[in-house]
Chain A
Amino acid sequence: MASEVMASSAKAEILRRIRAANGRASSLDAGGVEAEWTSVEREYRRGTSREREAVLELLEDRLRDYDAHVVRVANTGVAATVAKILSGRGKKRMVVPEGVAAEWLPAGFEFVMDAGLSATELDGFDGVMTGSTLAIAETGTVVLQNVAGQGRRAVTLVPDYHLCVVRVQDVVETVPEAMARLQQTAGLTTTFFSGPSATADIEMTRIKGVHGPRFLDVVLVA
């Protein structure tokens, strides 16, 4: 097909131009590129510098700084805390992804499992409740991936409210620690969120919630 011929010639032409610009005629061997990449100096902080408790407090602080509400509970108290938060916010009908821990879900509320609900259906829920892959204390960030208990991206996006459970063992201090943990599952769809949706496009005033969830509660489980 003519368009395919055009496409392949565009690719060949661009690669040729790049090689010419870099003073080469042919492609590189992977080993050489790899060795060069490895020699990039990475003198920045890669690990933790704080005590464990200080890391957790930092996460709480940074999340609050981003307008999230945070509570810390013992492992056995999750359902009771969830019940309290949901009643406080007047939420009754929540969507949850498949694989969310059953012991986190309190009685007296309706939890509907997402089985490919349409965007319009998702829009009809009071909120969504999920687990998380990890959290980064220094930046106040929670990371979700498409795995059991966290589900597909639309589920945590369309409802106006998100209640997210983070386990303390999944909290790291810095971004490099987070990326090292995520490396194994780099191919999964991944969402980082730091507080609820926000914009500063109007006179640089931070406004909560434009299109994503406007309200975020984080339950930090010891």
Chain B
Amino acid sequence: MSGVLDPRTSPPFPIVAKTMLGDSQLRKNVRHATDVIQTKRARVVGEMPDWQALREAGRQIRSHTMENLDFYLEELERNCTRAGGVVHWARDAEEARQIVVALVKESGSDEVIKIKSMTTEEIHLNPALEAAGIHPYETDLAELIIQLGEDWPSHIVVPALHKNRQQIREIFQKKMNLPELGERPQDLADAARMFLREKFLRVKTGLSGANFLIAETGGVCIIESEGNGRMCLTLPETLITVAGIDKVLPRYQDLEVVLQLVPRSATGERMNPYNSIWTGVNAKDGPRNFHVVLMDNARTEILADEEARQTLNCVRCGACQNACPVYRQTGGHAYGSVYAGPIGAILTPQLQEMHHAQSLPYASSLCGACYEVCPVKINIPEVLIHLRNKVVEQKGVSAEALAMKMMGMVFMSERRFRAAQRMGRMAEVPLVRKDGQGVGWIGWLPGMLGGWTQVRDLQEMPKETFRDWWEKRGKDGK
């Protein structure tokens, strides 16, 4: 499975998903991990009486930033430059790769230590570095497992959650040459510590993504837990940070919102073990050369799509993945991209100019769980419907497009959505035919929805909505 997850070459979601459904070990690992995070998340979110106010502030800050993105990027560049950093701009992945490769070469090193960064995964930076004779070492434990296992990340926050300890042990035994290695998580973490410490102390160039860029100060903020991030940010002589233009925050003060929202949403922690904030270069602390590469790579196209631009508000916490019943069944690889789960289903097609959109926006049950957990209130179902609509428009089937538009309206508000589910159950009664097992099927729908049921049967709406069932199931602790 080595190589890269490339949406242009990956098979469509339903095909990979089918294979993944057959991998019971993977499903078990994914289910276990997402269960643990979700339980922790629910507990620490429950501690916050002002959670909804924080989400709303988060949403407003992110939307405000997107509306004034050019202003804040220029402010960021000014302040970062004043503090001794160098800002580069990249229109697309190719340009970003070229800039990074050139900067690493300039640093005089043919090795780099890397902090986990989905942005660098997005642009397939590691193969580009290797092709240029530069060896990248992933230093996040999960990314190290993926790199040594020649595997792909399957989750934004916990990329190796599809591997269990026996599988990790086998990878480490082979790749670190440690035949005696035990399988306790502590043994595995100790092995990673030993393996990487030598690299931290030796390699002179570091490479990172960014959780946030702060326009007001020109600073960068990285959130992590292991300390590998701090190692890469602090010890090398040169540090190169690659960030999407969407990562900017207006003010230092805005961290007070995201630093409350992100750790609780991402890993169910009140605060992650480490946050680092640095601004340019500091003569006596950390790298002497600092570069930040601001990358567009289709983000401005998303910005131009009025109904989908809220996708850019994403802070990559992964909460929607953990909450998504489809993701939990199929794991991350089925999405054919480093961005999996509900956020992947909307972000990937848009980053790829609707390539892969034929299947990904359908990789959802539209149950709304992702919307409910999203710390910045991205209405993922609404965007999914919008993208389905776009797909259908591309195909030119107008009735389905219209139906999707209507559904889009319904998804714009949770109240409307729930109401429609109730109404739907009442309105469909005359249409339902029972099959032999007493399961109801709707063979046709009246009016303009007829086109849809021409090609498929619609199962009778259940007595209980999926969302209600899912919530109840969660409460029962199953």
Asked if B168 and A211 make an inter-chain contact with CB atoms under 8 angstroms apart, the answer reads: no
Which of chain A's residues have a CB closer than 8 A to the CB of B274? 191-194, 197, 212
Chain B residue nearest to A160 (CB atoms) is B193
Which of chain A's residues have a CB closer than 8 A to the CB of B271? 136, 139-141, 175, 192, 194
What is the bound-complex CA distance between A183 and B216, given in angstroms?
Answer: 11
Mark out the residues of chain B between 337 and 363 whose CB falls within 8 Å of any chain A CB in the assembled complex.
none
Asked if A27 and B74 make an inter-chain contact with CB atoms under 8 angstroms apart, the answer reads: yes
Asked if B71 and A194 make an inter-chain contact with CB atoms under 8 angstroms apart, the answer reads: no
Which of chain A's residues have a CB closer than 8 A to the CB of B277? 186, 189-191
Q: Which of A14-22, A74-82, A100-108 contacts B (4 or more CB under 8 A)?
A: A14-22
Q: Which of B102, B219, B245, B255 contacts A14 (CB 8 A)?
A: B245
Does B56 sit within 8 A of A, measured CB to CB? Answer: yes
Asked if A45 and B88 make an inter-chain contact with CB atoms under 8 angstroms apart, the answer reads: no
What is the bound-complex CA distance between A211 and B226, given in angstroms?
Answer: 6
Q: Which of B14-22, B47-55, B415-423 contacts A (4 or more CB under 8 A)?
A: B47-55
Asked if B269 and A194 make an inter-chain contact with CB atoms under 8 angstroms apart, the answer reads: yes
Asked if B273 and A198 make an inter-chain contact with CB atoms under 8 angstroms apart, the answer reads: yes
Mark out the residues of chain A between 109 and 162 whose CB falls within 8 Å of any chain B CB in the assembled complex.
116, 119-120, 123, 136, 138-141, 146, 152-154, 157-158
What is the bound-complex CA distance between A85 and B197, given in angstroms?
Answer: 27
Which of chain A's residues have a CB closer than 8 A to the CB of B88? 7
With A18-B70, A33-B68 already in contact, the answer to whether A202 and B188 are too (CB < 8 A) is yes
Q: How far is the CB of A35 from chain B (nearest CB, A)?
A: 11
Does B398 sit within 8 A of A, measured CB to CB? Answer: no
Does A1 sit within 8 A of B, measured CB to CB? Answer: no
With A146-B284, A201-B142 already in contact, the answer to whether A22 and B69 are too (CB < 8 A) is yes
Asked if B282 and A146 make an inter-chain contact with CB atoms under 8 angstroms apart, the answer reads: yes
Does B145 sit within 8 A of A, measured CB to CB? Answer: yes
Does B390 sit within 8 A of A, measured CB to CB? Answer: no
Chain B residue nearest to A17 (CB atoms) is B300
Asked if B70 and A44 make an inter-chain contact with CB atoms under 8 angstroms apart, the answer reads: no
Which of chain A's residues have a CB closer than 8 A to the CB of B216? 186
Asked if B273 and A13 make an inter-chain contact with CB atoms under 8 angstroms apart, the answer reads: no
| Tally of chain A residues near chain B (CB < 8 A) | 75
What is the bound-complex CA distance between A157 and B160, given in angstroms?
Answer: 25
Does A200 sit within 8 A of B, measured CB to CB? Answer: yes
Asked if B270 and A189 make an inter-chain contact with CB atoms under 8 angstroms apart, the answer reads: no
Interface centre among B217, B226, B304 (most CB of A within 10 A): B226
Q: Which of A7, A193, A196 contacts B89 (CB 8 A)?
A: A7
Mark out the residues of chain A between 29 and 72 whose CB falls within 8 Å of any chain B CB in the assembled complex.
30, 33, 36-37, 40-45, 62, 66
Does B225 sit within 8 A of A, measured CB to CB? Answer: yes
Asked if A19 and B70 make an inter-chain contact with CB atoms under 8 angstroms apart, the answer reads: yes
Does A199 sit within 8 A of B, measured CB to CB? Answer: yes
Does B316 sit within 8 A of A, measured CB to CB? Answer: no
Interface size class of B (residues with CB under 8 A): 35 or more
Q: What sequence of 0s and 1s flags, for each residue 264-308 of chain B, a beta carbon within 8 Å of any chain A beta carbon?
A: 000101111111111100101110000000101000110110000
Asked if A200 and B256 make an inter-chain contact with CB atoms under 8 angstroms apart, the answer reads: no
Asked if A62 and B90 make an inter-chain contact with CB atoms under 8 angstroms apart, the answer reads: no
Chain A residue nearest to B55 (CB atoms) is A44
Asked if A41 and B56 make an inter-chain contact with CB atoms under 8 angstroms apart, the answer reads: yes
Q: Which of A20, A180, A211 contacts B231 (CB 8 A)?
A: A211
Which of chain B's residues have a CB closer than 8 A to the CB of A153? 230, 233-234, 276, 285-286
With A28-B71, A42-B57 already in contact, the answer to whether A179 and B285 are too (CB < 8 A) is no
Asked if B91 and A13 make an inter-chain contact with CB atoms under 8 angstroms apart, the answer reads: yes
Q: How far is the CB of A38 from chain B (nearest CB, A)?
A: 10
Asked if B273 and A204 make an inter-chain contact with CB atoms under 8 angstroms apart, the answer reads: no
Q: Which of B57, B168, B235 contacts A40 (CB 8 A)?
A: B57
Does B185 sit within 8 A of A, measured CB to CB? Answer: yes
Chain A residue nearest to B263 (CB atoms) is A139
Q: Which of B160, B270, B278 contacts A194 (CB 8 A)?
A: B270
Asked if A190 and B276 make an inter-chain contact with CB atoms under 8 angstroms apart, the answer reads: yes
Asked if B50 and A10 make an inter-chain contact with CB atoms under 8 angstroms apart, the answer reads: no
Told that A33-B72, A140-B271 touch, could you supply 11 new A-B pairs with CB distance under 8 A? A14-B294, A119-B200, A186-B216, A187-B219, A189-B277, A191-B230, A191-B274, A193-B274, A194-B271, A200-B225, A203-B29
Q: Which residues of A line the B interface, CB within 8 A?
A: 3, 7, 10-11, 13-15, 17-22, 27-28, 30, 33, 36-37, 40-45, 62, 66, 116, 119-120, 123, 136, 138-141, 146, 152-154, 157-158, 175-176, 178-180, 182-183, 186-205, 207, 209-213
Q: List 26 A-B contacts (CB under 8 A).
A: A14-B300, A17-B301, A18-B70, A18-B303, A22-B69, A27-B74, A33-B71, A40-B64, A41-B57, A45-B49, A120-B201, A157-B227, A179-B253, A183-B253, A186-B214, A186-B216, A189-B277, A191-B274, A194-B269, A198-B226, A199-B226, A201-B145, A201-B160, A203-B33, A211-B197, A212-B227
